[in-house]
Structure 1
Amino acid sequence: MGKSAAAKTTTTATTTTTDAEATAQSSQSSETTQRTESAARLARPLIRLAKASGLATSFIDQLGTYTEISDEALIAVLKALDVDASTPKAVAQSIENLEAAERAQLLPPTIVAVVGKKTRIKLNCAPDADVNISITLEDGSAFTDFTVLPNFNADRPVLTLDADLPMGYHTLTATVVAPDAATTAADAPASTAIPDTRTGTATIINAPERIPVPKAVQEHHRWGWMTQMYSVRSHESWGVGDYGDLKRMLADAAHKTGADFMLINPIHAGAPIPPLEPSPYLPESRRFLNVTYIRPQDIPEYATLSAETRAKVDALHAEVAARNEESTPMDINAAWDAKRPALRLIFDAGRSAEREQAFEAFKAAAGPDLDSFATWCLCFEVWGAPWGENRWFFENTIDDPSVQELVATHRDLFEFNRWLQWIAAEQVTAAQQTATDSGMALGLMQDMAVGVHGLGADAWANPERFATGGVTVGCPPDFYNQQGQDWGQPPFNPRYLEATGYRVYREMVHSMYEHAGAVRIDHMLGLFRLWWIPQGLGARNGAYVMYNHEAMLGVLAIEATRAGGMVVGEDLGTVPDYVRQILAERGVLGTDVEWFSRENDSPNAGDPYKGPEEYRKQALASVTTHDLPPTAGYLTFEHVKLREELHLLSEPVEEFAVAAMAERTAMMNRLVENGYISQSVADDVPAHIQEIVEALHAMLTDTPSLLLQAALVDGVGETRSQNQPGTSSEYSNWRVPLADGEGHVVASGDVFDLPRVQSLAAVMRGERK
């Protein structure tokens, strides 16, 4: 995870229920081995309604503790799904409504099929009904290889699609007319009578059964770098690392170190003007790109500016260029204050007819969501940030006349925001092209955040896509965070996703693969279930809402296959075994981190670590994550010092320090046992930091994992954390520039020439000393 206010950290869960029976049952479970709900609990109408609405009413936490969801949380989460459970009478009525809706539905709105296999779909009508079927393929042509046969055992006809249905997203339309509607209605109770005529439309997601492993990765495992892109700058940067730096780093990483990919922080869209949200994991939109990372000098029109205009752009760059040499936290707002007017100068200078045509093509391909995003940006800039005293987010919808008038009045600013997205897309595409041209097997690995800002563009322009009632996404307590986590993000409404064939998810994933060879999914469990937290109840008192993982995995499989790419799922924390099994079967790589990989997945600091042979093949293996200090800092207990300084500990610092020492000792024991370091090195860690860092990475190369990852901060010897979970303004999260162990800034053009980086790269290539 990567939230600035509450990142990937998790501990023990507690049981919170409201009815007496559930409380007694839960209390009993702490002393026994109860793993499921009692028959009496399952019979309760509220529990039946919750399950029928897609809620999990109990779960097993990371420590294996059986936990039941409280009535209070269930009622509040159901309300967010527009299901009334406020009283026993309301519960009964809601159950009846759900059953009636199910009876009336001719076919599900989303159907997941497997390429190369026949698909059988039960139609909710009489077996002898007259059914008209049409299937329109993604390309607009008709598909006719299907049959409709009665299924008298199930008393429903079955539509069978032949195995030659092509991969993609297709539309199925079914119309049924009962042959004797009067008889059907007379013979059946009113509540179950089938309507005389019904039409149903469904999206068919026909996906490969498994995401194929690219040929280059089949040959042998591949390795790459992980970096926070914004942290690595050059003389041409504007105080913050940009897409130009990314392009240079990808080329150098390939040519100078032999890396095959580079995982960067999410580059989803943020606010159009300050104040900017520093966390890349709390974007305003996941559909579009972060334009603050644009490099003005790389825009083709920069080279053709008049001398006067170019001088103005260069003067704006000069205002912030000196900050590229500073190792103190970056001022992202000051950087954007200088860069944005420079970009406006380039925009106002105009484009050639050919370039204008390319811009128009981009707008057409992006569709109405681009206009919605640009409208939100316009409101933000003219009316102010949508929080505090500015109420436009809540009082003005995108269809309001006042909003449309604003767009008409400030058409140039509206167009400027669309142009920024075009330029950002061009520069990220250029970076990926450079990576593959330089010989990288995958190139850019993009990181997909788990959600969006509650007051962002996606939530404002399309509120129907999200749950109502103030619920937010987080995770229950686990052994990283004893209070649970609330990430403050509104969850996708699973009913909307189903009803629309997952179009919004399809477009988001497609846009990421347009300029990436792999995508990492933050909090991969979110494809299966999300922990919804009702407003005011706290992160501990939420409920899991289930999602159609088959549909979303199908989308990922289609888009990754089309791009020849890979999918990596961040599956750390409270993740059931069945989830990891399904991901592996679908060709999605998991995430194995050395500092988290104890034998039997033990949560206890000091317990033995796994040997390299125990790591998963179907995984991206690394030493660390962005939510831990760089390895040099972790080995010297920077996390202990920082958490004590920020008052983040729920235990005496002495106890935490003992646990940290036990953890380090256990890791040194593993390195010694496997021959990566000597006992004398393990006994004097501070004097052998680089040797130990490289030993930890050498162990990665002995794992069977398909992908291996080294953090650039470990290459240069950085000790400072990029992000401290559980903090916001208390620490400079996501603003720490790349520097070496002595605090000297490392530039994007120099980083892969450093002897220490070269030495770590040699280890990753298997060239041990």
Structure 2
Amino acid sequence: MAEHMEESPERLARPLVRLASMMGVATSYTGLSRDFHEISDETLIAILGALGIDATTPEAIEQTITAITREQNLRLVDPTVLHTVGKETHVTLRTGITEPAQITLILENGEPFEGELQLNPMPEAKVREIDGKFVAESDLVLPADLPVGYHTLHVESGDHTENATLISAPERIEMLDPMKDGSLWGWMAQLYSIRSADSWGVGDYSDLRTLLTDGKRYTDADFLLVNPLHAAEPVVPLTPSPYLPVSRRFVNFTYIRPEDIPEYNMLDGEAKAKIKAEHTSVEAFNADPQLIDRDAMWLEKKPALRTIFDAGLGQERQREFDEYKARCGEDLEAYATWCLCYELWGAPEDKPDNWIRTMTKESPEVIDLREKHADELEFYRWLEWTATQQLHLAQEAARTVGMKIGIMSDMAVGVHPLGSEVWWNPERFAKGATVGAPPDMFNQQGQNWSQPPLSPLALKNTGYLSYREMVRGMFDCAGAVRIDHILGLFRLWWIPEGHTAVDGTYVYYDHNVMLGILAIEASRVGGIVVGEDLGVVPDYVQKSLSDHGILGCAVEWFEQMDGVFTPPKHWRPYALASVNTHDLPPAAGYLEYEHVKIRERLGLLEEGSEAFEASARAEHNAMLQMLVDQGYLDASLLEDEAAHETEIIEALYRGLKGSPCKLLAASVVDAVGEKRAQNQPGTDNEYPNWRIPLADANGAAVMLEDLFQGDLLQRITKIMNS
């Protein structure tokens, strides 16, 4: 850690530091505790290497700086251009001084733009001589009335032609009418953890539909925030973490409810009996309060789904399926093919002789596999279509019963390094680096999430296509999207391969473009966006989110400064407020220091356990004091906290309700008295992350049929509706 708070002019002038800055790689950063760090040369060289840039020698650095500068000056137009609807946008073109530009703008619908495109020479334009050619800059003015969408800007100059993706986005995402002068509230839950009598041992899309409709009917909630529902593996073992998906473009087909597929009703008695027997074999898991067993579920559910698939589709349903396949195009082929390879060749592993390392989508073996197993390939396409349909029906049901938002989907930061997206399109990702978080007070060793970061260079050069399609897919089945670690749209903590999370640095992205894409897709469905902006978040990030109409997050246990909690009435309005998050124990567990016990048990504390426990007790007492001071809690109840834990939890929610935040989320685990954490950051199998079923304070499983009749849930509901 450096003693000063900025880099010296001498350091900034170094070629390696200049190159890193040119490529958006941070050469220093300030941590959560205002501690200043300068990034080592070793880290900078490794991160530049992950971007495909050789910085291993002084000569390579100088050559790269020269080549990048030359390429930028010779481009007719940048590959991605952002336009804000309602405002003029100025785009720099670079052409030969004797070769004026010819410009065509093709709109997203394929039609040419009929409006005026004004091209002006730059005032005192700089003329550069590059490779014997004189290049001048000119100013293309895009009019304010350009429609929303993804358009193509075609530029010709002499014998040189280039296309740019023109992203024309609304200036901001409009708040829903009830949020403009008030707020909406809803529940947040881990879908897999909430089972009904008809589940297959794991919560599914039909349970989600019931959660939504019953949530409105019994509590008047307007949304349900669920864990990420991104695509997973096709065979066991299934990865427990919903934040390490195979693909963010598609949804998890293991959540399908077989009996709710239309073709199930067409089956003969024998086929239905077979499916019933498979369901019966996992039915007992629905009431198991100990651990979610996804593998046992999928070993029975997948054959049941295959039975339904084999029965075939009617003419109209086949037409719908064909339209879905055409709409998804190569993205669906990527995921379905990866699933087929996984099933027939085994799990992808990071070994030199594994298929994931030896073959690509163009390998003859892969092409041959697709041809010889066309039926199995079609099965995986059908699974994805079926899953998407059931998720879409859940959202439709929510809106039908009057929910203002319905599903709030959660977007994971990235994807599995051996998943379909990385395998099919490796050029979209950085090589030799993973994403994580720097050390902070909650994770003193930092975090490595094992996910390869999207390359900001590839995003820009492809018009952000992969990001656009992912966001569009999520809004197809949701009224809102919560983006986990939205700071990642601005900068991501990259960790060089073979290093710890401490030895990373930030890499910057064009957040204006990515926020613009969110605005386009949200506006098309009347949706909203929430960004998880907890932790080290620069002021400009929060301002940018606010300017774009994107809500941040306020967590009651995090709203503190120097050991003093901020009264909820002073929280920022444009946020989704909650008592806790999925990375903390539920309210009852947190009040009983479950977060301390877990860390001590797993050896996650670099400081002494006594010091951490002392700080936790101080935090605990400060929270209760704030609740008392603000009139949310009777001070006399603190004489016996254990006996009045329920009243303290209610006080936490009265505080939440006392905030001006536009969205308020009540946790289902809090409402049933659960104490176990769903996830302990910084662990893998040391703790049963993402495998904790919903249970009450006594450890008994809570079934979906009984959920909304619970006493504490009803009391929290009354507070939220007050």
TM-score by length of 2: 0.97
Q: Deviations over 1:602-645 (max 9, x none)?
A: 4xxxx110011221111001000011110001101122222222
Which residue in the other structure is 2:524 paired with?
562
Please, which of 410, 416, 419 is the counterpart of residue 456 of structure 1? 419
> 2: CA distance between counterparts of 1:504 and 1:727?
30
Which residue in the other structure is 1:115 paired with?
85
* Alignment of 1:749 onto 2:716: no
* Alignment of 1:442 onto 2:400: no
* Alignment of 1:609 onto 2:565: yes
Q: Letter of the aligned partner of 2:674 in structure 1?
A: E
- Within a 5 Å distance, the mapping from 1:228-627 to structure 2 comes to 228-387=190-349, 391-468=354-431, 470-599=432-561, 602=562, 607-627=563-583
> 1: CA distance between counterparts of 2:495 and 2:195?
38
> 1: CA distance between counterparts of 2:572 and 2:174?
17
Return the offset for 1:375. Answer: 0.3
Secondary structure class of the residue paired with 1:715: helix
Return the offset for 1:544. Answer: 1.1
Q: Letter of the aligned partner of 1:112 in structure 2?
A: L
Q: Deviations over 1:114-159 (max 9, x none)?
A: 0011111111125664210000000001113211122232342211
Q: Letter of the aligned partner of 1:696 in structure 2?
A: L
Contact 1:127–1:151 (Cα < 8 Å) also in 2: no
Return the offset for 1:388. Answer: 6.2
Which residue in the other structure is 1:761 paired with?
717
Q: Deviations over 1:436-494 (max 9, x none)?
A: 111111000000000000000000011011012x2101111111111211110000011
Structure 1 spans left out of the alignment, 5+ residues: 1-14, 16-25, 178-196
Contact 1:471–1:490 (Cα < 8 Å) also in 2: yes
Return the offset for 1:537. Answer: 2.1
Q: Deviations over 1:254-303 (max 9, x none)?
A: 01001010000000001000111000000000000101111001111111
Q: Letter of the aligned partner of 1:682 in structure 2?
A: L
Contact 1:628–1:634 (Cα < 8 Å) also in 2: yes
Secondary structure class of the residue paired with 2:398: helix
Return the offset for 1:762. Answer: 0.8
> 1: CA distance between counterparts of 2:96 and 2:335?
46
* Alignment of 1:135 onto 2:98: no
Return the offset for 1:342. Answer: 0.5
Secondary structure class of the residue paired with 2:385: helix
Q: Deviations over 1:198-237 (max 9, x none)?
A: 2221111111111110113224200010000000001110
Q: Letter of the aligned partner of 1:538 in structure 2?
A: T
Contact 2:95–2:101 (Cα < 8 Å) also in 1: no
Secondary structure class of the residue paired with 1:149: strand
Return the offset for 1:678. Answer: 1.4
Q: Letter of the aligned partner of 2:522 in structure 1?
A: A
Return the offset for 1:103. Answer: 1.4
Secondary structure class of the residue paired with 2:320: helix
Q: Deviations over 1:699-755 (max 9, x none)?
A: 111111100011000001111111112221122111111011111111112211212
Q: Letter of the aligned partner of 1:265 in structure 2?
A: N
Return the offset for 1:676. Answer: 0.7
Q: Letter of the aligned partner of 1:414 in structure 2?
A: L
- Within a 5 Å distance, the mapping from 1:672-687 to structure 2 comes to 672-687=628-643
Which residue in the other structure is 1:166 paired with?
147
Q: Letter of the aligned partner of 2:457 in structure 1?
A: R
Q: Letter of the aligned partner of 1:303 in structure 2?
A: N
Contact 1:249–1:749 (Cα < 8 Å) also in 2: no
TM-score by length of 1: 0.91
Contact 2:151–2:166 (Cα < 8 Å) also in 1: yes
> 2: CA distance between counterparts of 1:326 and 1:544?
43
Please, which of 60, 71, 78 is the counterpart of residue 48 of structure 2? 78
> 1: CA distance between counterparts of 2:595 and 2:34?
27
Name which of structure 1's ranges 398-407 and 150-159 shifts more when overlaid on structure 2: 150-159
Q: 1:111 to 1:388 in 2, by over 3 A?
A: closer
* Alignment of 1:153 onto 2:124: yes
Q: Letter of the aligned partner of 1:670 in structure 2?
A: M
Which residue in the other structure is 1:199 paired with?
161
Secondary structure class of the residue paired with 2:502: coil
> 2: CA distance between counterparts of 1:457 and 1:326?
33
- Within a 5 Å distance, the mapping from 1:58-77 to structure 2 comes to 58-77=28-47
Q: Letter of the aligned partner of 2:36 in structure 1?
A: Y
Return the offset for 1:684. Answer: 2.2
Q: Deviations over 1:19-48 (max 9, x none)?
A: xxxxxxx2xx2xxxx332111011101111
> 2: CA distance between counterparts of 1:647 and 1:89?
45
> 2: CA distance between counterparts of 1:656 and 1:122?
55
Which residue in the other structure is 1:706 paired with?
662
Contact 1:288–1:421 (Cα < 8 Å) also in 2: yes
Q: Deviations over 1:32-67 (max 9, x none)?
A: xx3321110111011111111121111111111121
Secondary structure class of the residue paired with 2:94: coil
Q: 1:157 to 1:672 in 2, by over 3 A?
A: same
> 1: CA distance between counterparts of 2:433 and 2:18?
21
> 2: CA distance between counterparts of 1:712 and 1:624?
11
Contact 2:443–2:681 (Cα < 8 Å) also in 1: no
Contact 2:289–2:701 (Cα < 8 Å) also in 1: yes
> 1: CA distance between counterparts of 2:542 and 2:560?
17
Secondary structure class of the residue paired with 2:101: strand
> 2: CA distance between counterparts of 1:365 and 1:47?
44
Contact 1:672–1:682 (Cα < 8 Å) also in 2: no
The percent identity for this pair of structures is 51
Name which of structure 1's ranges 747-756 and 322-331 shifts more when overlaid on structure 2: 747-756
Secondary structure class of the residue paired with 1:750: helix
Contact 1:126–1:157 (Cα < 8 Å) also in 2: no
Contact 1:127–1:150 (Cα < 8 Å) also in 2: no
Secondary structure class of the residue paired with 1:683: helix
Contact 2:448–2:682 (Cα < 8 Å) also in 1: no
> 1: CA distance between counterparts of 2:313 and 2:51?
47
Larger RCO, structures 1/2 (Cα 8 Å, 6+ apart):
1
Q: Deviations over 1:50-98 (max 9, x none)?
A: 1111211111111111211110000011111111110111111111111
> 1: CA distance between counterparts of 2:609 and 2:139?
64
**CA RMSD, 1 decimal:** 1.2
Secondary structure class of the residue paired with 1:202: strand
Contact 2:577–2:665 (Cα < 8 Å) also in 1: yes
Which residue in the other structure is 1:724 paired with?
680
Which residue in the other structure is 1:225 paired with?
187
Which residue in the other structure is 2:602 paired with?
646
> 1: CA distance between counterparts of 2:150 and 2:200?
42
Name which of structure 1's ranges 91-100 and 142-151 shifts more when overlaid on structure 2: 142-151
Contact 1:517–1:566 (Cα < 8 Å) also in 2: yes
Secondary structure class of the residue paired with 1:533: strand
> 2: CA distance between counterparts of 1:696 and 1:620?
15
Return the offset for 1:364. Answer: 0.9
Secondary structure class of the residue paired with 2:705: coil
